[in-house]
Structure 1
Amino acid sequence: MADQLITSLESMGQLLLAMDTGVGLLIGVGISMSASHGFALLANRLTPPQILLHMVVDALVLSLAFLLCILCHSVMLMVLEGIPLQPISFANRMGAALWPGLLYVLVAAPYVSDVIAIALLAWIHLNVLVLLQAVYGISFQAGLLVALPGYIVALLLVGLLFAQRWRRSYDILAREVAALLR
């Protein structure tokens, strides 16, 4: 059973390597993540230029969070495994791990949004582990040590942005919908 799982993860790694999307996927993930709260921005009666500004700033901040995550992975890879690499080439290879983030727009779904967000972020982390094994031959256990600090950095930055802006928007939306239903 475990051997079959490892074989499946190795084939997934080869598929991710074939994608070779690079750093360009960062912006797409950021846009998907910022689009997930578009309804809340509309409910707060923001004008279209204000909504666009919020979404662009959020997309850039979220893209920066994942870029910092990837750079943290590269530092940990150099420190723990002694693999010399250039951060931009590493980021280009690891960019394919972020493709589940394109589905982050689904987090706008009511009641299950937190579960979807956690599942997508865990999927991204699994993709990073698979790519570390496929590209650098690092075992999954060592990959956990390499990828965990960057994953925590990304979770903290994304969490701060959500807590600061988006939760407030969702609370206002929920109050307005409840008032309309009464």
Structure 2
Amino acid sequence: MIDTFTELVGHTLRLQPDAFQLLGAGELSAWWGVLIALLAGLSQAIGHGFILFVNRVSPLRFGLSLVVEAVLVVVGFLFWALSTWLVARLGFGVAISPTTVVLALGVAHAPELLAFLGALPYLGVPWLTLLSLWTAVAFVVAMVEVAGLGAWQAFIALLGGWLVMLLLQRRAGQPLMRLGRGLLNRTAGVQLVQDRRALSLLLDADPRARQRR
């Protein structure tokens, strides 16, 4: 299992087609994609750990909040994968299963395993932007190998799936997003402040001024 994981991640980070040929061979289940997406979400959550620290979340709740945020990232990832599959299926008539797209997009999230470095001063935004582009390129390579799409078709499917996901979030997904934020606040034990200016004020405030639930 460890060998398979390191092989997938290593080949994906180097954008080597060999890793994606395994996806099309049917030797791997979609759970590999979910696992990598979950670990990528955990890495993103660690990068956002500063927010939890400034909100003075207790150590136990800190760890639980990281896990909850990672799970929420996976939920969003699954919506993105399914909407991308829908675009590829309807837009290009590609006979590919949703689980294959989940696997391909999940493995393509391997660069996001380095998202925790986004917490570094001055490096954060450029680094996270680079990782997003890296992930997009990895998915395009994966879909070219697995589904036989052209590079531009794979990119349009990915972008179209992302736009569909955003549309769903702004419409039917609003209750789910509020539920996710509420779950994260409940896990943290405080009403999390995430606005940058508010975080700066909170950081300068007396620790006793914060009330825990």
TM-score by length of 1: 0.75
In the alignment, the residues of structure 2 paired with residue 24 and residue 113 of structure 1 have an alpha-carbon distance, to the nearest angstrom, of 24
What is the DSSP-based 3-state SS (H/G/I as helix, E as strand, rest coil) of the residue aligned with 2:102?
A: helix
Q: Secondary structure at the match of 1:85?
A: coil
8 Å contact kept, 1:129–1:143? yes
Equivalences, count: 164
Alignment of 1:113-132 (within 5 A): 113-132=124-143
Equivalent pair of 2:20/2:146 in contact (CA under 8 Å): no
Hey, which bits of structure 1, 4+ residues long, moved more than 3 A? 15-21, 151-157, 170-179
1:166 and 1:151 mapped to 2: Cα distance?
A: 27
Name the counterpart of 1:7: none
Distance of 2:48 and 2:166 partners within structure 1: 17
8 Å CA contact 1:31, 1:59 repeated in 2: yes
In structure 2, what is the equivalent of residue 134 of structure 1? 145
Is contact 1:13–1:133 with CA below 8 Å preserved after alignment?
no
Residue 101 (structure 1) aligned with residue 105 (structure 2)? no
For residues 5-154 of structure 1, what are the structure 2 equivalents within 5 Å? 12-18=16-22, 21-152=32-163
SS in 1 for 2:149: coil
Equivalent residue for 1:4?
none
Q: Name structure 1 gaps, 5 residues minimum.
A: 1-10
| Residue in 2 that maps onto 1:5 | none
Q: CA deviation at 1:153?
A: 5.8
The amino acid across from 2:80 in the alignment is C
Distance 1:85 1:136, change over 3 A: closer
Percent of pairs with identical residues: 25
Q: TM-score, normalised by structure 2?
A: 0.65
Higher helix share: 1
Q: Structure 2 regions of 5+ residues with no counterpart?
A: 1-14, 170-176, 182-191, 206-213
Task: Compute the displacement of 1:171 (Å).
Answer: 4.2
